[in-house]
C-alpha cells in the first residue's frame, strides 16, 4: 500500500523536512542537530531500537556463512570493549560517562555501556518519538522538484514518503568482505565471518584459522586462543596492529595464537600458504577481513557517485552528494573517532539545509573533492591524522568549539599501548594530556 506523506510544506523556507536513515550513533546525533537547527525530522530504523552496531543481537543462525540465508545486522560480540577511551568517543553536546551496572567507570568499557549511553542520549533529547522502528528503507530517489521519494517497508506494508533532504547514517559494517582466496568456498571445515562471531565457546578444543588482523581479528584470535587447541593468524602487516608480526611468532602473549604466512588458496582441507607450505587439519576459519560499503537503497550512478574498494566518491567534504547536495552521507571515513565526527558533520549539514551555511558551486565542489580514484588513492577515506584538520574545519564552518588540543595526544598513547599489548591495553587508563 502506498501512502503520500503530506509533509510540512508550511514550514518557513529555511526549515526543511528531513529523513535520516539509521538510528545508530550517527543517525541519533544527526536527528539532534537537525532538530536544534529547527528542521522537521523523521528517522527510519530497520531494527526495533537505537544503537546500531552497539545494539547486541543474539545470533543463533547457522555457524557456516555458506549456509546462511541472512546475516545478523550487528557484529557486536559478548566480550567487546571499546578500543578508544570512552571520554574521547562521546558526543561533545553530551559529555556523560559510559557506565556499566555495578562497575566503576572504565576507560575502555564494554559495549553495553556505549549502548546505554546512546539510549540515554536518545531519551534525553526526546528522539525516540521521531524514530520509526522496524522500518527498512528500500529506495531513495531524487525528484525533479528538488525533493526525495523514499520507499520503506515494515513487516505489514510498504509506504512512500517525500522529503526535502536526506541524511544517510546507515553505517558500513553489515556486508562482509570476502577475501580473494581461490577455492576458499571448498573448505571442508566451518567457515564464518566475524559478523557471526559472538563468543569463543563453539571453538573449544578446535584448530582455528583467523584471517585478518584488524580490531576484530585481534580480539577474536585472542579470545578463541583461550579455549582452542591452536589458533593460526594469517594477516597482512599493514594497519595498526603491528605487534609481533613475524611469521611464527606468538600473538598477544597468548601461547595458543601463532602468526602464519598469508593464505593464497584452499583445496578442501588443504590451505595453501604464501610460503609454499600447506596447512591441514583446521576445523574452522573465521574471516576477520572487514566489510564492504553497501547502499542498496541508493542508485549511486544516478547520484553521480561511485563506490569501489570502499571509496565513495566524489562527495564534497566526503559528506555531500555534489549533484544533489540535499543528500549527505555521514561518517564514510575510516580510522576516525566516529561520534564527534558525525556530530560536526551533522551540524554542518543542518546549517547548510537551513541556509545558515552555504556550499560552493557544483564545479568548485567537484574540483575540491578530488581523491575519487581508488586505484590512485586506496586510503582516501582512511583519515587517521587527517581527521584532526577535518573536524577543526567543520567546527570553524559551524561556529562550534574545536576539540581541545589535549584531546588528540591520547590517541597515539592508545595505539602505542595496543601494539605492545593487544590483549591487555584496555585495563589501563588513558587520560587527556
Ligand X SMILES: NC(=O)c1ccc[n+]([C@@H]2O[C@H](COP(=O)([O-])OP(=O)(O)OC[C@H]3O[C@@H](n4cnc5c(N)ncnc54)[C@H](OP(=O)(O)O)[C@@H]3O)[C@@H](O)[C@H]2O)c1
215 binds ligand X (CB under 6 A): yes
Of 43-51, 183-191, 237-245, 356-364, the segment contacting ligand FAD by CB under 6 A is 43-51
24 binds ligand FAD (CB under 6 A): yes
Of 18-26, 144-152, 235-243, 294-302, the segment contacting ligand X by CB under 6 A is 235-243
The CB-of-335 to ligand X minimum distance in angstroms stands at 8
150 binds ligand X (CB under 6 A): no
390 binds ligand X (CB under 6 A): no
The residue from 46, 74, 216, 387 that contacts ligand X (CB under 6 A) is 216
- Alpha carbon distance 163, 169 (integer Å): 16
Strand, helix or coil at 381?
A: coil
423 binds ligand X (CB under 6 A): no
Q: Which phi-psi region, left, alpha or beta, contains residue 84 (left: φ > 0; alpha: ψ -120 to 50)?
A: beta
27 binds ligand FAD (CB under 6 A): yes
Q: Are strands 270-273 and 263-267 parallel, antiparallel or unpaired?
A: antiparallel
The residue from 82, 115, 170, 398 that contacts ligand X (CB under 6 A) is 82
219 binds ligand X (CB under 6 A): yes
Phi and psi torsions of 167, nearest 5°? -120, 115
- Alpha carbon distance 92, 96 (integer Å): 9
Scanning 322-427, the segments in alpha helix (DSSP H) are 338-354, 362-369, 386-398, 409-420
The CB-of-368 to ligand X minimum distance in angstroms stands at 26
The CB-of-113 to ligand X minimum distance in angstroms stands at 12
The residue from 26, 46, 170, 194 that contacts ligand X (CB under 6 A) is 194
Strand, helix or coil at 345?
A: helix
171 binds ligand X (CB under 6 A): no
The angle subtended at Cα 325 by Cα 321 and Cα 331, nearest 5°, is 50
184 binds ligand X (CB under 6 A): no
The CB-of-80 to ligand FAD minimum distance in angstroms stands at 6
90 binds ligand X (CB under 6 A): no
Neighbours of 359 (CB within 10 A): 14
The CB-of-255 to ligand FAD minimum distance in angstroms stands at 26
Site of grid cell 546525533: 29
Binding site partner of 89, from ligand X, ligand FAD, none, Cβ cut-off 5-8 A by kind: ligand FAD
The residue from 19, 41, 53, 279 that contacts ligand FAD (CB under 6 A) is 53
212 binds ligand X (CB under 6 A): yes
Q: What crossing angle do the helices spanning 111-124 and 25-36 adopt, rounded to 10°? A: 20
The angle subtended at Cα 304 by Cα 298 and Cα 305, nearest 5°, is 65
The residue from 42, 122, 174, 289 that contacts ligand X (CB under 6 A) is 289
Listing DSSP states for 74-135 in one string gives ----TT-B-SS-HHHHS-TT-------TTS---SS-BHHHHHHHHHHHHHHTT-GGGEEET-
The CB-of-286 to ligand X minimum distance in angstroms stands at 11
Site of grid cell 571453538: 203
For residue 239, the 8-state DSSP code is S
* Structural contact between residues 138 and 144, judged by C-beta atoms closer than 8 angstroms: no
The residue from 18, 20, 25, 224 that contacts ligand FAD (CB under 6 A) is 25
Task: Tell me which residues touch ligand FAD (CB under 6 A).
Answer: 21-27, 44-47, 52-54, 73, 75-76, 82-84, 89, 136-137, 169-171, 173, 297, 331, 337-338
Name the site residues for ligand X (rule: CB under 6 A). Answer: 80, 82-83, 173, 179, 181, 194, 211-217, 219, 234-236, 238-239, 262, 288-290
Amino acid at each position: 500500500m502506498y501512502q503520500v506523506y503530506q509533509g510540512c510544506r508550511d514550514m518557513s523556507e529555511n526549515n526543511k523536512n528531513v529523513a535520516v536513515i539509521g538510528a545508530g550513533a550517527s543517525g541519533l546525533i544527526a536527528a539532534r542537530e537537525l532538530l536544534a537547527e529547527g528542521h522537521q525530522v523523521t528517522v527510519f530504523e530497520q531494527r526495533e531500537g537505537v544503537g546500531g552496531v552497539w545494539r547486541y543481537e543474539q545470533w543463533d543462525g547457522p555457524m557456516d556463512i555458506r549456509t546462511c540465508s541472512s546475516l545478523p545486522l550487528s557484529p557486536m560480540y559478548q566480550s567487546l570493549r571499546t578500543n578508544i577511551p570512552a571520554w574521547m568517543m562521546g558526543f561533545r553536546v553530551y559529555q556523560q560517562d559510559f557506565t556499566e551496572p555495578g562497575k566503576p567507570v572504565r576507560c575502555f568499557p564494554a559495549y553495553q555501556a556505549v549502548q546505554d549511553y546512546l539510549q540515554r542520549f536518545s531519551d534525553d533529547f526526546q528522539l525516540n518519538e521521531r524514530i520509526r522502528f522496524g522500518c527498512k528503507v528500500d529506495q531513495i530517489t531524487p525528484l525533479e522538484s528538488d525533493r526525495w521519494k523514499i520507499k520503506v517497508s515494515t513487516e505489514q506494508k510498504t509506504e512512500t514518503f517525500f522529503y526535502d533532504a536526506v541524511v544517510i547514517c546507515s553505517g558500513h559494517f553489515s556486508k562482509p568482505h570476502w577475501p580473494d582466496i581461490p577455492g576458499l568456498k571448498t573448505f571442508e571445515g566451518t567457515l564464518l565471518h566475524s559478523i557471526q562471531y559472538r563468543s569463543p565457546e563453539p571453538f573449544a578444543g578446535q584448530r582455528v584459522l583467523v584471517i585478518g588482523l584488524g580490531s576484530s581479528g585481534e580480539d577474536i584470535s585472542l579470545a578463541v586462543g583461550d579455549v582452542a587447541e591452536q589458533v593460526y593468524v594469517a594477516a597482512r602487516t599493514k594497519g595498526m596492529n603491528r605487534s609481533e608480526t613475524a611469521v611464527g611468532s606468538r600473538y598477544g602473549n597468548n601461547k595458543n595464537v601463532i602468526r602464519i604466512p598469508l593464505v593464497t588458496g584452499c583445496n578442501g582441507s588443504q590451505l595453501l600458504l604464501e610460503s609454499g607450505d600447506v596447512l591441514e587439519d583446521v576445523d574452522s576459519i573465521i574471516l576477520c577481513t572487514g566489510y564492504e560499503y553497501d547502499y542498496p537503497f541508493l542508485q549511486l550512478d544516478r547520484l553521480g557517485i561511485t563506490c569501489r574498494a570502499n571509496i565513495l566518491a566524489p562527495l564534497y567534504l566526503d559528506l555531500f552528494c555534489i549533484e544533489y547536495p540535499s543528500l549527505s552521507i555521514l561518517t564514510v571515513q575510516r580510522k576516525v573517532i566516529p561520534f564527534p565526527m558525525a556530530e560536526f558533520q551533522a551540524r554542518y549539514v543542518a546549517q547548510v539545509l537551513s541556509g545558515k551555511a552555504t556550499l560552493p558551486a557544483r564545479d568548485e565542489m567537484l574540483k575540491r573533492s578530488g581523491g575519487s580514484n581508488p586505484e590512485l588513492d586506496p586510503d582516501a577515506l582512511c583519515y587517521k591524522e587527517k581527521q584532526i584538520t577535518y573536524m577543526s574545519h567543520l567546527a570553524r564552518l559551524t561556529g562550534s568549539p574545536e576539540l581541545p588540543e589535549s584531546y588528540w595526544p591520547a590517541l597515539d598513547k592508545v595505539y602505542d599501548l595496543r601494539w605492545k599489548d593487544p590483549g591487555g591495553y584496555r585495563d589501563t587508563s588513558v587520560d587527556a594530556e
